[in-house]
Amino acid sequence: MQTEIIAIKTKGDKLQDIALVKIGGKGVFVKEIEEALLRGDIHIAVHSMKDVPVELPDDLEIGAVPKREDSRDVLVSKDNRKIEELRKGARIGTGSLRRTIQLQNLLPDVEIVPIRGNLDTRIKKIVTEDLDGVIVAAAGMRRMGLISEISQYIPVEWMIPSAGQGVLGIELRKNDKETKDLVAFMNHLDTVIELSAERTFLKHLGGGCQVPIGAICKKQDDRLILRGLLGSVDGSVIISDEVRGSSEDAEKIGREMAENILARGGRAIL
């Protein structure tokens, strides 16, 4: 069977000098690709699930979810320093509100420098912007063969990832059974279950990237551990929670954690 890869440059890829919250949130990375799917220009779309809105167009669905890559954030730093070794007032680059508030919680004197762009661009800004380091997703670094550039894998206890981080989603048209059957072999059940808990949490909060939100679920045997947080934009308030339960209750666990956080001040933030 022959396949063809069609590269689609989205609004999010083109407008790299503008914060995501100002151009429509993470959904700007998928809209044009979904439009190509709906037109029939392509059969499948491959997304990073952390960029996919919780509400999909009516005629589209996620047909397969491959096994998750490393979900953690990583530090790429000058002189290969770790977070605990950074100088006072260190300049760290990130375009993520979620990473910003959690890093400021770890290092109150850190200076956050807003950056966007692909991985190579962000890493080069350590030199061009005179940064002490940048924080990016481990999954992207590993997939791009840049593992040797990683200075530190940041534990999820220090920095909760974005919901769906490290997960790819194969999106297709609901009525395209032939294509769905072709990609079904890639579906990884444990990852599907973890992703369901995280995205249910996100959906129940009504969250995109206008406020800092993080969620990470781990399946251990038949049990799930879901950690999450919601923060104010300035980082003055961070509400975190952890819920455990059966792997059969992924959506229930996601809703429970959202309700816990909403009841503890989340509604005021949102």
For the chain, 270 residues long, the average pLDDT of each consecutive 10-residue run is 82 52 60 93 95 94 98 97 96 96 96 93 95 98 96 97 98 97 97 98 81 96 97 95 98 98 94
Judge contact between 254 and 224, C-beta under 8 A.
no
| C-alpha to C-alpha distances, 184 to 64, 84, 87, nearest whole angstrom | 6, 43, 48
Question: Domain boundary at 154, 171, 186, which?
Answer: 154
User: What is the extent of the structural domain holding 95?
Assistant: 73-154
Tell me what pLDDT residue 116 has. 85
How many helices (DSSP H) and strands (DSSP E) are in the chain? 10, 11
Q: Is 3 domain-assigned? A: no
Residues 63 and 97 in one domain: no
Residues 179 and 265 in one domain: yes
Residues 96 and 221 in one domain: no
Cβ-count burial of 50 within 10 angstroms (0-12 exposed, 13-18 middle, 19+ buried)?
buried
Residues 142 and 220 in one domain: no
Q: Is 113 domain-assigned? A: yes
Tell me what pLDDT residue 117 has. 87
pTM of the model: 0.90
Residues 207 and 191 in one domain: yes
Residues 47 and 172 in one domain: yes
Residues 63 and 180 in one domain: yes
Could you give the residue numbers annotated as active site? 51
Residues 263 and 169 in one domain: yes
Q: How many CA atoms lie within 13 A of 165 on its CB side?
A: 28
Report the phi/psi class of residue 221: left, alpha or beta, with left for phi > 0 and alpha for psi in -120 to 50.
Answer: left
Tell me what pLDDT residue 208 has. 55
Residues 143 and 208 in one domain: no
Question: Domain boundary at 99, 125, 154, which?
Answer: 154
Residues 171 and 227 in one domain: yes
Q: Is 6 domain-assigned? A: no
Residue entry with tokens 């956050």: 112
Q: Is 198 domain-assigned? A: yes
Residue 247's nearest CA partner among 218, 222, 221 is 222
What CATH number has the domain bearing residue 101? 3.40.190.10
Question: Domain boundary at 99, 122, 154, which?
Answer: 154
In the chain, the number of structural domains is 2
Tell me what pLDDT residue 138 has. 98
Residues 184 and 256 in one domain: yes
Tell me what pLDDT residue 95 has. 92
Tell me what pLDDT residue 23 has. 40
